[in-house]
Amino acid sequence: MINLLYCIVVLIITRCLLAEAVSVNPLPKPRSIQWGYVGPIYLHRSFTFFRQPNPILEAAVERTLNLIWSEQWKPRVIVQSESPNYPPFPINLTKRTDDDNIRLLTAISIDVKDFSVHLQHGVDESYTLDIFSDRIGTITSKTVWGALHALQTLNQIVISDGNGGLIIEKTVHIEDAPLYPHRGLLLDTARNFYPVSDLLKTIDALAWSKMNVFHWHIVDSQSWPLQLKSYPQMTGDAYSNNEIYSQSDVQQVIDYGRLRGVRILPEFDMPGHARAGYRQIDPDIVSCGDSWWSNDEWPYHTAVEPTPGQLDIINQKTYKVVNNIISEVTSIFTEKFFHAGFDELNQNCYNYSKYVSEWFKENPNATYPDLAQYFLDRVYPMIKATNKRIVMWEDVFLSPDFPAKDVPKDVILQSWNEGVNNTKKITAAGYDVIVSSADFLYLDCGFGGWISNDPRYNQNLNNGAAIGDFNWGGTGGSWCAPYKTWQRIYDYDIDYTLTDIEKKHVLGAEAALWSEQSDSVVLDSKVWPRTAALAELLWSGNKDMSGRKRYREMAQRINEYRERLVARGVGAAPLQPKWCYKNPHACDFFRNETVPDYNLQ
């Protein structure tokens, strides 16, 4: 009754908002999308965009036109999205719903207020998109970056009429903006290498999903695939001459991202996770690089995975090298954030350093946190001098055995342990945080342990028979098992238990693909479509207007989006038997749409 009254009132003013008789279901769901009742609206054969001259917009418009005409998208399963009814009913797309007057959309006019705004953290990404029945459509945005998102939405609401024509099903009014400014994916290109084409394809899919950060974990202790002018010998530790990112490759990735509104955030992990490359400059700046990582006696392990290596914190040559590398890479990457790693420092590793041993002798009261602080005190000002905002893993602050003592409050901490507990600790202490909780957002989890010569597997017992042996047991065999399903990701409330002040410190989140067991062959299927669940979580959230989690409707949306990714050449994994997809909600656990949440929190 209230809905009906609302509809009548609204109808008088503008249009009736009740009917959502459309089949498209864009992902991420816009913050506000109001379908009208008039349609379909046909795109004129010479449909175009009126726009101000600007190379970024120009390129985006061209991509959009190419895509909508070549894709000729037909929603794979035609259902009424967000139907209040159950089950949903089919709609005949080719049937005109109103009268026989063909409504033609000849153009969309794009109005960007300010083209001078750089792509950086916190930039305004909002837009409005209007499709009217009797005149040209409009896109308005404060920045070109908002206009790019508008075009992605348009890409998803234009569909085939089945006869070579394109339609938008109804008039529509969209007002949209992201909930979080930092929406990213981490890709590790050091444990295994990915060709540049993989990076570009991934950036494309991020942009389609309105994600805006590609966190490039370029190097690690195993390989150094990045060509530098200051130390060209470092690529002696690339996997081969074909597995190197040249300076022009890197520039291509940065430019490609920028044209699509995706920032390339580089990470140079230090002082831990450092061996490859550095030892080509001088083995003396790497500690424990030749030790046996597990020592065959775990209490004495020098790294959590092979191969070990940490920058020598006391050898002063380290700082000359680090300074040269920082000044070169910060000039290559225009991105304002710089990720300096600082995760997983291991105490035993420094037993292999004569410099550190000597320093501990000279400073008998010094602790490992003093040692970590020593490094931070030298490297922090080097990065500050380049005008970058520093990002580090939470370990620099929260590591139980090797944190620094005093981390400046302007360092952004990226959280990966203990779920919301650590997010809470970090924000309560006044730091900004990027959430990458392994229990929810690590895409590499659940594929089993990868260490070889591992006797823990040599047991003829059923899963769960030996409690605590996580390496082979029922939890899936990797330290962060099990596999994170799209639902696990989508339902994660990244600011759960945070106060309003703490919530303000949450910049956003990143999914992460660490690449011990990934390379080009499995990249797409591990990243997609699960990262799209995070994309929506960060763009418009996981709840409907009533505050209820909308995982039920999201199932249909992400299935459809997966089909679209595949059609666009991204090998996204299937989520369900096709039968479920073709019979929307037939594979739901509960038929009842409003079944109470378990609320396990």
Ligand X SMILES: *[C@@H]1O[C@H](CO)[C@@H](O)[C@H](O)[C@H]1NC(C)=O
Catalytic residues: 344
Residue pair 265/336 in contact by the 8 Å Cβ criterion:
no
- The tokens of 178 are what? 């992201």
Q: Which is nearer to ligand X, 367 or 463 (CB)?
A: 367
Q: Which DSSP symbol is given to 406?
A: -
Q: Which is nearer to ligand X, 424 or 557 (CB)?
A: 424
Residue 182 CB-half CA count within 13 A: 26
* Phi, psi values for residue 509, rounded to 5°: -150, 165
Is residue 28 reached through a cis peptide bond, with omega within 30 degrees of 0 on the bond before it? yes
Measured at the CA of 60, the angle between CA 57 and CA 62, to 5 degrees, comes to 110
Q: Which is nearer to ligand X, 241 or 594 (CB)?
A: 594
From 586, 585, 564, 583, select the one nearest 77 (Cα to Cα). Answer: 583
H or E stretch including 75? none
CB of 233 to ligand X, least distance (A): 30
Q: Which is nearer to ligand X, 257 or 584 (CB)?
A: 584
CB of 298 to ligand X, least distance (A): 10
- The tokens of 437 are what? 């909780």
Distance of CA 348 to the CA centre of its chain: 34
Residue 386 burial (CB count, 10 A): 13
Distance of CA 47 to the CA centre of its chain: 33
Name every residue whose Cβ is closer than 8 Å to that of residue 375 and which is 6 or more positions away in sequence.
270, 271, 311, 313, 404
Q: Which is nearer to ligand X, 440 or 447 (CB)?
A: 440
Q: Which is nearer to ligand X, 320 or 543 (CB)?
A: 543
CB of 122 to ligand X, least distance (A): 29
Residue pair 461/474 in contact by the 8 Å Cβ criterion:
no
- The tokens of 28 are what? 């991420």
From 324, 325, 504, select the one nearest 432 (Cα to Cα). Answer: 504
Q: Which is nearer to ligand X, 499 or 592 (CB)?
A: 592
CB of 92 to ligand X, least distance (A): 4
H or E stretch including 176? strand 172-176
How far is the C-alpha of 532 from the C-alpha of 78, rounded, in Å? Answer: 21
User: How is 422-433 classified by DSSP, letter by letter?
Assistant: HHHHHHHTT--E
Q: Mapping DSSP to helix (H, G, I), strand (E, B) and coil, where does residue 582 land?
A: helix
CB of 191 to ligand X, least distance (A): 24
Q: Which residues bind ligand X (CB under 6 A)?
A: 92, 94-95, 300, 348, 351, 365, 418-419, 421, 592, 594-596
Radius of gyration (Cα) for the chain, nearest Å?
26
Distance of CA 154 to the CA centre of its chain: 22
CB of 313 to ligand X, least distance (A): 15
Q: Which is nearer to ligand X, 422 or 559 (CB)?
A: 422
CB of 387 to ligand X, least distance (A): 36
Q: Which DSSP symbol is given to 205?
A: H
CB of 350 to ligand X, least distance (A): 8
